[in-house]
Amino acid sequence: MINSKSHDANEITGAQIRAARALLRWSAKELSKAAGIGVATVSRAEVEDGITSLTSANMRAIRLALEAAGIEFITGNGGGVGVRFKDSR
């Protein structure tokens, strides 16, 4: 059965958020501060492995905060979604 939520290239998963935080060695509190959202919102996003049920504004805030800190989100291009540090070139 196909997931009822289609994966948009701009959406990120809870697993990606957890992984990005781990790469940065950030706590949930640090991410919430950088994104300007509550810690409970970060926790709610991370509890889901797939696409989260957060509002688009909250998801965008998380994504922008992590990207500003040097994270690049990898889309599911056959190898699955993921995260990595941006190329510093």
pLDDT tens digits for 1-60? 233 344 454 689 999 999 999 999 999 999 999 999 999 999 999 998 888 889 999 999
- Condensed to tens digits (0 to 9), the pLDDT of residues 19-34 reads 999 999 999 999 999 9
How far apart are the C-alpha atoms of 15 and 77, rounded to whole Å?
16
pLDDT for res 50: 87
Look at residue 7 and tell me if it is in a domain. no
Joined tokens for residue 55? 């509002």
Look at residue 63 and tell me if it is in a domain. yes
Q: Which residues, 6 or more positions from 26, have their beta carbon under 8 angstroms from its beta carbon? A: 34, 69
- Condensed to tens digits (0 to 9), the pLDDT of residues 71-87 reads 999 987 767 788 999 98
The CATH number of whichever domain residue 37 belongs to comes to 1.10.260.40
How far apart are the C-alpha atoms of 77 and 42, rounded to whole Å?
26
pTM for the model stands at 0.83
Look at residue 8 and tell me if it is in a domain. no
pLDDT for res 5: 42
Q: Which residues, 6 or more positions from 43, have their beta carbon under 8 angstroms from its beta carbon? A: 28
| Number of structural domains found in the chain | 1
